[in-house]
C-alpha cells in the first residue's frame, strides 16, 4: 500500500477508536475524487469499515483478529458529528429496567435525525423518533420514558409501580421535569405517581 491510501491509513491509525472518517475531512491528503476512490478501495480490502454512506471507521486489531468499533463509542462519535440525539430504543430500555424479559431481535436506536442503517459488525438501525421520546438522553429517567412509550398506555400504571422505587430522587425529578413534552396518557400518571412519592418521603410540590 502506498500513496494516498497509505496516508489515509496513517491518519486513521492515529485516531481513537470509533472516530468517523469522512471524505470532506481528508481533503488535506488529496482531492475529493481521489479520496473517495481510496476510501472505497480501503473498505474493499478490509482496512476500513464503511459504516454508512460517506462514513468510514477503522476496525480495531486484537489478538483474535479485527473487530468493529464498539457500538456505544461509534454512536457517541456519530451523534457528535451529526449533531443528533441517539438513544437506545424503548424495548431495550424496558429490558434494562426489568419491565420485560424480551430482548429486541434487532439492534435499534432512536434518533432525532433521519432513518439510517449502520454496519458495525452487525446491522444497527437508527429510527427517527419524536422529540418527547428523546427526552433526558443517556439518563435513567429517559430510559423510563422510552420504556413506557414502548409498553404503551395499557401497561403504564403497573410499569410505574415497578420502576419508580428504583429511581433516585434526582431521577424522579428529571422524569417529572419531562412531563411537558410527554403525551397526556403518560404525563398524567407520571405526575400522580411522582408527587405521591414526594409526599410519602416527606417532600412537597
pLDDT, tens digit, for every residue of 67-118?
Answer: 999 999 999 999 999 999 999 999 999 999 999 998 878 899 999 999 999 9
Query: pLDDT for 176-201, tens place per residue?
Result: 999 999 999 999 999 998 888 777 76
Q: Are strands 116-120 and 122-128 parallel, antiparallel or unpaired?
A: antiparallel
CATH level 2 (architecture), domain 3-67: Orthogonal Bundle (1.10)
| Beta strand segments in the chain, E | 49-52, 55-57, 60-62, 65-67, 86-88, 107-111, 116-120, 122-128
Separation CA 197–CA 153 (nearest Å):
21
State whether residue 141 is helix, strand or coil.
helix
pLDDT of residue 187: 97
The answer on pLDDT for 204 being more than 90 is no
pTM of the model: 0.89
Separation CA 127–CA 117 (nearest Å):
9
pLDDT of residue 160: 96
Q: Tell me how crowded residue 139 is: count the other CB atoms within 10 A of its CB.
A: 16
Using only the alpha carbons of the chain, give its radius of gyration.
21
Q: Tell me how crowded residue 130 is: count the other CB atoms within 10 A of its CB.
A: 12
pLDDT of residue 194: 86
The answer on pLDDT for 40 being more than 60 is yes
pLDDT of residue 201: 66
Query: pLDDT for 57-78, tens place per residue?
Result: 999 999 999 999 999 999 999 9
Q: Which of 26-40, 124-138, 188-202 has the lowest mean pLDDT?
A: 188-202
Share of the chain above pLDDT 70, in %: 97
Write down the domain spans for the chain: 3-67, 84-200
Amino acid at each position: 500500500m502506498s500513496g494516498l491510501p497509505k496516508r489515509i491509513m496513517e491518519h486513521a491509525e492515529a485516531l481513537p477508536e470509533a472516530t468517523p472518517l469522512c471524505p470532506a475531512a481528508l481533503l488535506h491528503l488529496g482531492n475529493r475524487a481521489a479520496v473517495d476512490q481510496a476510501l472505497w478501495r480501503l473498505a474493499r480490502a478490509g482496512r476500513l469499515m464503511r459504516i454508512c454512506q460517506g462514513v468510514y471507521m477503522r476496525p480495531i486489531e486484537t489478538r483474535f483478529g479485527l473487530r468493529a468499533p464498539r457500538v456505544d463509542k461509534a454512536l457517541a462519535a456519530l451523534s457528535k458529528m451529526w449533531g443528533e440525539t441517539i438513544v437506545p430504543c424503548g424495548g431495550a430500555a424496558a429490558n434494562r429496567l426489568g419491565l420485560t424479559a424480551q430482548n429486541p431481535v434487532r439492534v435499534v436506536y432512536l434518533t432525532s435525525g433521519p432513518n439510517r442503517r449502520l454496519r458495525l459488525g452487525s446491522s444497527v438501525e437508527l429510527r427517527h423518533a419524536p422529540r418527547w421520546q428523546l427526552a433526558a438522553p443517556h439518563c435513567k429517567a429517559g430510559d423510563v420514558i422510552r420504556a413506557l412509550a414502548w409498553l404503551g398506555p395499557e401497561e403504564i400504571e403497573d410499569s410505574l409501580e415497578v420502576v419508580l422505587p428504583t429511581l433516585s430522587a434526582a431521577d424522579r425529578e428529571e422524569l417529572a421535569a419531562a412531563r411537558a413534552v410527554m403525551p397526556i396518557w403518560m404525563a398524567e400518571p407520571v405526575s400522580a405517581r411522582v408527587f405521591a412519592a414526594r409526599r410519602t418521603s416527606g417532600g412537597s410540590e
